[in-house]
Amino acid sequence: MPAAIAFLRYDPHPDPRTIGDTLRAYRRALGLTQRQLGAQLGMHRSTVGKVETGKERPSEQMLGRMRELLGALLK
């Protein structure tokens, strides 16, 4: 999916409205599974899923790690 999005310059998924939506959009754009992203963030796959679905809010520390990692991966 990341290659198709890059080639078409269009993402068919709706615009993110929450932190979880944003995390999911970045994860998909990078072609990562919840498990892979969780490993890079130092969190369990299920926690990534809970954040993406809005069942759990990330701590300030986790938000900082998310910003650092995703910012570095998107450059």
Compare 56 and 9 and report the one with higher pLDDT: 56
* pTM check: above 0.95: no
Question: pLDDT at residue 61 above 50?
Answer: yes
- CATH code of 2-74, in short, is 1.10.260.40
User: Taking the CB of residue 70, how many other CB atoms lie within 10 A of it?
Assistant: 19
Residue 73 confidence (pLDDT): 60
Mean pLDDT of the chain: 85
SS3 label, residue 5:
helix
Q: Give the pLDDT band of residue 14 (cuts 50, 70, 90).
A: low
**Predicted pLDDT of residue 9:** 78
Domain boundaries, the chain: 2-74
Query: Mean pLDDT, to the nearest integer, of 46-63?
Result: 93
Q: DSSP string covering 14-28, please?
A: PPP-SHHHHHHHHHH
